[in-house]
Structure 1
Amino acid sequence: MQLLIFILAYPLLWIISVLPRWLFYAFSDVVFFWVYRVIKYRKKVVRSNLELVFPEKSDAERKRIQIAFYRHMCDMFLEMVKTMNLSKAAVKKRYAVQNIEVLQEIEKEKSILIVCSHYANWEWNVSINNYVDAKGYAVYQPVGNKYFDRWIRNVRARWNTTLISSQDTVKTVVRNKRDGVIGIFGMVSDQSPQYHRAHYWTEFMGINVPVINGAETMARKMDLAVVFLKVSKVKRGYYKAQLIPITTSGASTEKNEITDQFLRLTEQQIREKPEYYLWTHKRWKHRGKVPARSK
């Protein structure tokens, strides 16, 4: 069944990926209509999140953000499909890195952990590996369909990126350190952890919630440099990235220091242009549940 689904879906994905720009985004407009107006995909979740995070905004302002978010979400997920037929030269035009020298200097001496959030187009963040010499890795959750999972891996490999599961990340860093291999590891770190695995609670967008601190734990233990990747949407289909150093030595930081800086930078990014954050996630679902041991 998995193979059949892949065989049926692949031709459509390929056709979408080669559409000319005007038709590609016209198709995205059609997808937006169905997702937002007809299917109403997670509209209650998005509305609830915006009301929770932006109580100071009017209903009209939150409605504008909501509609703009759904338009962007449709663009972004179709741009993920576009990746399968997007050359290195093309992605460099669509995704510009403003200060790649930040990575180029650090990679001369040690491995780097790039942390980012579900903002703008995180799918194209892996194209940064086209600018550096170090081996690039992207931490991801394997797809249930093994054929789609293999396809995703092959697409990323075109941009000098190796996909590794979250379970394999630490041992990959350890192996590289043992073998003297410098690597650049990219992680999206703003997800909500499972409640029973939450070890650190703090405010995110003014709400006390559990946060994932696996990136910090690895950076401190393996003494990785940590860089925040701030991505801005310039216009439809075009983005710019800024690399903001958090630390050049994870081992020298205090507990929760890296995590807190990541959260503050993410909050700043969201408040600047909230429509480009992934509001369909139930990011604040554990609010108000902080256990006594974490208070």
Structure 2
Amino acid sequence: MQFLAYILIYPILWVISILPFRLLYAVSDGLFVLLYYLIGYRKKVVKANLKLAFPNKTDKELNQIRKKFYHHLCDMILESIKSMTISEAEMKKHFTFTNVALLQDLEKQKRSVALVCAHYGSWEWIFILQTYVNMTGYAIYKQLANTYFDKLVKRIRAKYNSHLITTKEAILTISAAHERGEITLCGFASDQSPKAEKAHHWKDFMGIKVPVHTGAEMLAKKLDMTVVFFGVKRIKRGYYETTFTTIAHNPNAFPNYSITDKFLELVEAQINEAPEYYLWTHKRWKHRNKVPAQFQ
């Protein structure tokens, strides 16, 4: 069944991927009508999340954010499909960097980097970064249920010397690269919710105490990696600009979890500036009423 689904869906995705951007976003507009008005994809979750994050905003303001978010979500889906065939030159026009020299300088210093980000703006095209550095790229991702589509996603990322690894593979794979003397660039999207019972740290996020992922910080300390945040700004439809911010050059000089806390502060700043570009469909605050006594 997985192979059948792949051979039926893949040609459709390929045709969409070769569309010029003008037509691609016309498809996105149609998808918006389908998801927002007809299916109502996770509208209750998005509404509840926005109400939690912005308790002082009016219903009208929240509805405006929600509608803009769904437009952006559909753009992201289509841009992800576009990754199948987009050229390197074209991607560089659409996804730019204000200070890529920061990473290039770290590479010259032979410093590996833990690159942390949120599900904000666009994270699909960050892989073009590998064309500006010679570091070996690893990105932590959630494996797709369909093995054929999972292999497809890995092939797309591999074009730019980026390797997708699962959470379970991360420590062993990145540690092995460290032992081989590789200078690595490891991407972590660390803003979503871990399992409450496995959380080592809880933190106020958008004013609500939640469990947070600390794996990037712990691995950076173990392997002495510089921790860098990348923030994405949407310039206009289909165009994004990324800026890098060093959180910790020498991570072991920082108290435990302070690096994670700084990361979340940077994520909050992005969300408050333009909330419509955050991934509100995730149940980020689902554990808010389960705070263990030691973290209260």
TM-score above 0.5: yes
Segments of 4+ in structure 1 off by > 2 A?
Answer: none
Partner deviation per Cα, 1:125-171 (whole Å, 9 max, x = no partner)? 12111110111111111111110010000011112211111111111
User: Per-residue CA shift, 1:60-113, capped at 9, x if unaligned?
Assistant: 111110000000000001100000001111111000011001100112221101
* Residue 186 of structure 2: aligned partner: 185
Identity %: 48
Question: In structure 2, how many angstroms separate the alpha carbons of the residues matched to 1:256 and 1:281?
Answer: 23
Kindly state the Cα deviation for residue 288 of structure 1 after the two structures are TM-superposed: 2.0
Structure 1 letter corresponding to 2:134: D
Aligned counterpart, 1:234: 235
CA contact (8 A) 1:195 1:286 kept: yes
Determine whether 1:76 maps to 2:47: no
Contact 1:110/1:225 (<8 A) preserved = yes
Q: Distance in 2 between matches of 1:5 and 1:68?
A: 31
- SS of the residue aligned with 2:244? strand
TM-score (norm 1): 0.98
Q: Does 1:270 align with 2:271?
A: yes
Report if aligned partners of 1:36, 1:70 keep a CA contact under 8 Å in 2.
Answer: yes
| Partner SS for 1:121 | coil
Partner of 2:211: 210
Deviates more, 1:206-215 or 1:157-166: 157-166
Aligned equivalents of 1:148, 1:244: Cα separation in 2: 33
Counterpart of 2:219, as a letter, is: M
Partner letter of residue 226 of structure 1?
V
Alignment of 1:241-252 (within 5 A): 241-252=242-253
Letter of the 2:236 partner, please give it.
Answer: K
Shift of 1:294: 2.7
C-alpha separation between the residues in 2 aligned to 1:126 and 1:206?
Answer: 32
Question: In structure 1, what is the equivalent of residue 149 of structure 2?
Answer: 148
Equivalent position of 1:25 in the other structure: 25
Per the normalisation by structure 2, the TM-score is 0.98
Distance in 1 separating the partners of 2:285 and 2:45: 10
8 Å Cα contact 1:115-1:188 kept in structure 2: yes
Is the counterpart of residue 107 in structure 1 residue 107 in structure 2? Answer: yes
Amino acid at match of 2:51: E
Give the Cα–Cα distance (whole angstroms) in 1 for the partners of residues 115 and 78 of structure 2: 24
Counterpart in 1 of 2:139? 138
Does 2:197 match 1:169?
no
Letter in 2 for 1:199: H
Give, as a single letter, the amino acid of the residue that structure 2 aligns with 1:34.
L
Mapped partners of 2:214, 2:72: distance in 1:
28
Query: How far 1:225 moved relative to its partner?
Result: 0.3
1:121-136 to 2 correspondences below 5 Å:
121-136=122-137
In structure 1, what is the Cα distance between the partners aligned to 2:55 and 2:151?
A: 43
Out of 190-199 and 266-275, give the one that drifted further.
190-199
Is 1:49–2:49 an aligned residue pair?
Answer: yes
State the distance in 1 between where 2:294 and 2:269 align. Answer: 29
The CA distance in 1 between the partners of 2:175 and 2:43, in whole Å, is 42
Corresponding letter in the other structure for 1:170? I
For 2:92, the equivalent position in structure 1 comes to 92
Q: Tell which deviates more after alignment, 144-153 or 169-178.
A: 169-178
> Unaligned regions of 5+ residues in structure 2, if any?
none
Which residue of the partner structure matches residue 10 of structure 1? 10
Count of aligned residue pairs for this structure pair: 295
Looking at structure 2, the residues matched to 160 and 177 of structure 1 have their Cα atoms a distance apart, in angstroms, of 17
Tell me the distance in 2 between the aligned counterparts of 1:180 and 1:222.
Answer: 11
Local SS of the residue matching 1:263? helix
- CA RMSD across the alignment: 0.9
| Unaligned residue ranges in structure 1 (runs of 5+) | none
Q: Greater shift after overlay, 18-27 or 272-281?
A: 18-27
Q: Contact 1:191 / 1:212 at 8 angstroms: preserved in 2?
A: yes
- Whole-Å Cα distance in 2 between the matches of residues 120 and 200 of structure 1? 26
- State the alpha-carbon separation in 1 of the partners of residues 156 and 174 from structure 2: 23
How far apart, in 1, do the equivalents of 2:269 and 2:75 lie? Answer: 23
